[in-house]
Amino acid sequence: MAPVIGVTATLKQDLDSVAERPLGSYVRADLDYVAGVAQAGGVPLVLPPIPGVAEEMARGVDGLLLSGGSDLDPAYYGEEALPELGVTIPERDALEMALLEHALKRGIPVFGICRGLQVINVALGGTLYQDLPTQLGGGSIAHRQQTPKWQWTHEVETEGGSNVAEIMGARSLRVNSYHHQGVKDLADGLVVSAHASDGVVEAVESSNLSECWLVGVQWHAEAMRDAESAEHRNLFAAHVAAAERHATRRRAAA
Ligand code: MN
């Protein structure tokens, strides 16, 4: 049976009138998360950011994909907002933090993309740079590219022996880059599995992968699946395969 992969949605808001109720929940189609899951043989299930159902949602999926999007409220890592902080969506932050906690408790394989990597790091106790250009100053390369999302703009170096290096089959990768935040203090339980030339963390994974499949990448792998190499598709395939193994174990235990 194809594993069900929960893909977290965001809220569409009229930002000119913050008092208005959100217009709806959605997963961006130009950033092709659901197509990435389906291409890998999983069944994508969009999870809207509504309160109070995180545990039930976690129970209903075999894998969890934390998608990209707005900035996480820095209160989750004990900081006040800097002027450069972007839009935050409290409903989404609350659902994803709770969802991740329940997913990890149940051993559900988790794949985080861009914001998803950042949510993983913070949920496990790490912190973020709220804004790389101002906080890293002149030492930072451009992590907010101005070219189409399927184009790479910087290289990343994977750590030898890491799960990400093995999945992608390469030590040096070309990736797109659409983030202004990044990992500052790495959470316990995570290891860095790729970094950019300026030292910015570009991928993380669980330090105990046999017990918990957990991978986060800072680039938008879903938008690079059609690149000539299979590297980015391989991330989706590895996540769906881990979810399938989890589902099989769960059925056997039932
Ligand atoms: Mn980057």
**CATH number of the domain that 165 lies in?**
3.40.50.880
The predicted structure's pLDDT at residue 140: 87
Whether residue 160 contacts residue 94, with contact meaning beta carbons closer than 8 Å, is answered with no
121 neighbors 106 (Cβ within 8 angstroms) = no
Which residues have their alpha-adjacent CB atom under 5 A from ion ligand 1? 143, 177
Distance 201 CA to ligand 1 centre (A): 8
CB 11 within 8 A of CB 49: yes
Q: Active-site residue numbers?
A: 114, 220, 222
Alpha carbon of 6 to ligand 1 centroid (Å): 25
Q: How far apart are CA 72 and CA 129, in angstroms?
A: 11
* Secondary structure of residue 252 in the 3-state scheme: helix
Of 229, 212, 232, the closest CA to residue 110 belongs to: 212
| Ligand 1 center to 179 CA (angstroms) | 6
Task: Provide the domain limits for residue 184.
Answer: 4-253
SS (H, E, C) 22-41: CCEEECCCCCCHHHHHHHCC
Contacts of 241 (CB under 8 A, 6+ apart): none
Distance 137 CA to ligand 1 centre (A): 15
Ligand 1 centre distance from Cα of residue 225 (Å): 17
Burial of 196 (0-12, 13-18, 19+ CB in 10 A): buried
- For residue 60, what are the contacts with CB-CB under 8 A and spacing of at least 6? 4, 6, 45
Pick the closest to residue 176 from 232, 115, 242 (CA basis): 232
The whole-number pLDDT of residue 110 equals 98
Q: Give the global pTM.
A: 0.95
Locate 201 and state its tokens. 């963390």
Closest by CA to 130, choosing from 184, 202, 188, 196, is 184
Distance 131 CA to ligand 1 centre (A): 12
What is the model's pLDDT at position 1? Answer: 87
What is the reported pLDDT for 19? 59
Q: Both tokens of residue 217?
A: 């990448």
Q: Output the CA 246–ligand 1 centroid distance in Å.
A: 31
| Structural contact between residues 43 and 89, judged by C-beta atoms closer than 8 angstroms | no
Q: Choose among 183, 53, 48: nearest CA to 124.
A: 183
Structural domain count, the chain: 1
CB 77 within 8 A of CB 122: yes
Q: Which two tokens stand for residue 46?
A: 């969009």
pLDDT tens over the chain, length 254 residues: 899 999 999 988 755 555 567 778 889 877 799 999 999 999 999 999 988 999 999 999 999 999 999 999 999 999 999 999 999 999 999 999 999 999 999 999 999 999 999 999 999 999 999 999 999 988 889 999 999 999 999 999 999 999 999 999 989 999 999 999 999 999 999 999 999 999 999 999 999 876 789 999 999 999 999 877 789 999 999 999 999 999 999 889 88
